[in-house]
Amino acid sequence: MKPSAFATVSTKKSVFALIVILPFLALIALLVAAGSNQGQASINTVATPVVDVMPITLVQQYTEYRAAVGQIEANQVAALSFDRVGRIMQTLVDEGQDVQEGQLVAVQDQQRIEANLQEIAATLARVEANARLAQLSEVRVSELVKQKLDSSQRLDEVRQSTIAANAQVTETKARQTSLEIELSKTRLYAPFAGTVITRQVDVGTVVNPGLAIYLLQKQGSLQARIALPADDAKNYKVGQAVTLRVAATDYAAKVKSIAPLRTSATRSVDMLFSFDDENAPVLAGDLVSLAQEQTINTQGSWVPRSALVSGVRGLWSVFVVEKTADKTSLVAKLVELNYADEQRAFVNGALQAGDYIVARGVHKLVPGQEVNTQILDSEQQQAVLEKRQ
């Protein structure tokens, strides 16, 4: 007996439903089982963390270390320039070269001045001839007047002509001297022995008066210039020994001078320091720092920087251990950060002498968390403060 068409269709629908529904039910069963196992595992693996703690010690003052930064500079630096307009014809030294005092370093165009000098020389020869002629005329007229062959009026006129001719000679010589001075200004000489730092123009450039051609640094020891607040500058005296740091190296130095006025821009006082070793391996332009100490009278305590927890609005806090009858938990207490260096921080706030704070690993903790404590001994505490762990 053949099955009906309706029965065949019904059977196919049942098979299709089983194929779709059974994997879905299996997936749900797996997820439920996984969740149950994970929850059970989480419950079984939760353990009370052990934290390193150290006691708080209150002190009445702390020493603040600051570094004032300045720059190494040469004792003398000069910008060499011409004081007249002209075209640069020669540059005789280049950057990095050493020069001696009085050495010729650059030359301007001299043709126009040399031509003027030739003209003045011809004029001088002419006026000198006129002056000699006037002198001879004065002698002759004087003899004639003595012989009463000429009038005194004529003698006076000749004498004044001689004076005028001599004045022309003097004037022409002065003009000649002025041109010779201008000619000398077309040559640029080094004012002292030094090293050329920069050359700022090339041959063929027309320069105006005062435009720097070379920057020359005087040979010899360098000095350090550091600006300090006026109150800090009062703590130093000329000749006082100090230690300067350049590129992580300390150098012995002395206070060379203290400016008697404040700079208008920073309201600070410039101080110059000379190095004890004139051959110290430092370069002009290097940054230099001067370490300073200042004692601040305020109550607080030193804590490792690893104990600080960043809070909102720039506030800081530390985790303090609070013990009750049945558990030990953490309480976050706000503190004010007064000073910090690379290893530790000086804070004050709601801390009491004898409080135990978490010394490190605070990023893994939250307020109210139950913990077990491990007290660091004195050597371990020092190691944490100095970050030697």
3-state helix, strand, coil in the chain (%, to 5): 35, 35, 30
Residue-level pLDDT at 324: 85
Residue-level pLDDT at 350: 85
Q: How many other CB atoms sit within 10 Å of the CB of residue 315? A: 13
Range 108-130 burial, b when 16+ CB lie within 10 A, else e: bbeeebeebbeebeebbeebbeb
Residue-level pLDDT at 303: 92
Angle between helical axes of 111-146 and 152-184 (0-180°, round to 10): 160
Encoded amino acid at 244, one letter: L
Tokens of 359: 């010394």
Tokens of 335: 């503190």
Question: Cα(201)–Cα(80) distance, rounded to whole angstroms?
Answer: 11
Q: Is the pTM value of this prediction over 0.85?
A: no
Tokens of 124: 């001088």
Mean per-residue pLDDT pooled into runs of 10, the chain (389 residues):
49 61 72 58 65 91 89 89 93 92 94 93 93 88 83 85 92 94 93 90 92 88 90 90 92 93 88 90 90 88 91 84 88 90 88 91 90 88 70
Residue-level pLDDT at 383: 82
Range 20-56 burial, b when 16+ CB lie within 10 A, else e: eeeeeeeeeeeeeeeeeeeeeeeeeeeeeeebbbbeb
* Residue in 350, 324, 216, 221 with CA at minimum distance from that of residue 281: 221
Residue-level pLDDT at 91: 93
Residue-level pLDDT at 42: 47
What is the phi-psi region of residue 87: left when phi exceeds 0, alpha when psi lies from -120 to 50, beta otherwise?
A: beta
Q: How many other CB atoms sit within 10 Å of the CB of residue 134? A: 20
Strand partners, 198: 215
Q: What are the chain's domains? A: 50-62+298-385 (2.40.420.20), 116-185 (1.10.287)
Residue-level pLDDT at 387: 59
Strand partners, 244: 251, 290
* Residue in 111, 103, 104 with CA at minimum distance from that of residue 86: 111
